[in-house]
Amino acid sequence: MYSSTKAFISNWSESLTYELRDTNKVITFSPAGTNTNFQNSAGVKKEHDGKGLLTPEYVADQIIIAVKKHKTVVILDFKTKILLMISRFFQESSILYCGGKSLRR
């Protein structure tokens, strides 16, 4: 469910970027796991007391930088960047399989 929702929001944001290009600014911002209360509320297991997660301050700083640099897409997750790069060369079913595998622990 999480991956589906994230994919929908990403595609929707990129569509809005195109449709509103003359009047509004839309940034598709995709951070990696961030050390917030979300993990506790969603029942996500935190490993190593939040180590490996981004800090909320870092994410906020990256949003400010993106706005100042007029970016339209910002991806802060290394796994996502790699999947997007290789997705240009593989069938959609292979991409979905790899994406699902990368989210399992």
9-34 pLDDT, tens digit per residue, is 888 888 998 999 999 999 988 888 88
CA–CA dist 54, 30 (Å, integer) = 12
Please, where are the H alpha helices in the chain? Answer: 2-19, 38-42, 56-68, 78-86, 92-103
pTM of the entire structure?
Answer: 0.68
Q: What percent of the chain has pLDDT over 90?
A: 22
CB 29 within 8 A of CB 63: yes
Provide the pLDDT confidence category of residue 95 given band limits of 50, 70 and 90. low
What's residue 65's pLDDT?
96
